[in-house]
Amino acid sequence: MCAYTVLRLAEKEPAILDEWLTVTELAGTTTGSTAELKPGEQVQVKDALLGMLLPSGNDAGNALAEHFHARLAPPDVAVLKAGLNNPLLATRSNFIAEMNRNAREIGMKATLYRSSFGDGGTEDDRTTNARDLSRLAFIAMQLPAFRQAVATRRHEATVKKADGTTRQAIWENSNALLALDLGYDGIKTGITNQAGHCMIASGQRGEDRLHVVVLGSTSEEARYVDARNLFRWAWAQR
């Protein structure tokens, strides 16, 4: 949803993809999976999107949210009460609110985002469900830039370091299904405390395209096995 939100903004103003964002201390020290962006570094928005989507860079997600925060409307009362009134989210709350507005717009009725990279729910109040994730996958895959990004296996980006020099960041796609060359062409892996090892996968056979959502797998390898088994079952029904 973070990527979808940025790309929706880019539909109205394509030049934003070429903007350079600065990685703040908050973004550069984000825990969890990372694109290894450091505080003070700069990266273009179009590259930050790949840094978030390929290696699941939570740091890139926060950097994007902070970059666009001031341009977006603040959260409404309902979303504020759900947790976006937390002072720790002050530099990102408008962006997360936009994610929730987009979720409502496309019919994700069981979804509430509390972070720019999609996590943040609790056992009693989950972030989303498989149905909503399937809906999001279908809508996001209508955007050519999103389809291209999630099918990218490896991306190299120029990062401006705080001392004025540059370095090359190399990001590998964590979606192991892409390497099988069996018609799989996206979308995203993940792991959270509530969802365990999870993924949304896209695959095409002839003119038929399917999206599979896997939540709660026991390991990285298991999520790929689960996804492929679901694809096999689904293709057999058609």
Same domain, 90 and 196: no
Order of strands across the sheet with 154-160? 20-22, 42-44, 154-160, 166-172
Instruction: Give me the pLDDT at residue 21, please.
Output: 98
Same domain, 112 and 196: no
Same domain, 158 and 180: no
Q: Which residue has the tokens 């399917």?
A: 210
| pLDDT mean over 7-28 | 98
Question: Which residues touch 7 (CB under 8 Å, ≥6 apart)?
Answer: 49, 140, 143, 145, 146
C-alpha closest to that of 117 among 71, 174, 40, 57: 57
Give the CATH number for residue 63.
Answer: 3.40.710.10
Whether 107 shows a pLDDT value over 90: the answer reads yes
Q: What CA–CA distance (Å, rounded) separates 84 from 23?
A: 21
Quick check: helix, strand or coil at residue 111?
Answer: coil
Instruction: Give me the pLDDT at residue 192, please.
Output: 84
Same domain, 122 and 212: no
Same domain, 167 and 181: no
Render pLDDT for 184-201 as a digit per residue (tens, 0 to 9).
Answer: 999 999 988 888 899 999
Same domain, 196 and 153: no
Question: Which residues touch 220 (CB under 8 Å, ≥6 apart)?
Answer: 176, 189, 191, 197
| pLDDT mean over 73-94 | 91
Question: How open is the CA angle 40-17-112, to the nearest 5 degrees?
Answer: 85
Render pLDDT for 27-80 as a digit per residue (tens, 0 to 9).
Answer: 999 999 999 999 999 999 999 999 999 999 999 999 999 999 999 999 999 888
Q: What is the pTM of this model?
A: 0.95
Same domain, 91 and 116: yes
Last residue of a domain, one of 127, 152, 173: 173
Instruction: Give me the pLDDT at residue 121, please.
Output: 66
Q: Which residue has the tokens 């902070």?
A: 66
Same domain, 196 and 138: no
Note whether 10 and 16 are within 8 A (CB): yes
Last residue of a domain, one of 123, 142, 173: 173
Mean pLDDT of the residues in the chain: 94
Instruction: Give me the pLDDT at residue 206, please.
Output: 85
Q: What percent of the chain has pLDDT over 70?
A: 98
- Domain with 79 in it: 2-173
- List Cα–Cα distances, 44 to 2, 10, 18, 29, 76, in angstroms: 16, 13, 6, 19, 30
Same domain, 136 and 199: no
Same domain, 62 and 89: yes
Instruction: Give me the pLDDT at residue 115, please.
Output: 92
Same domain, 47 and 72: yes
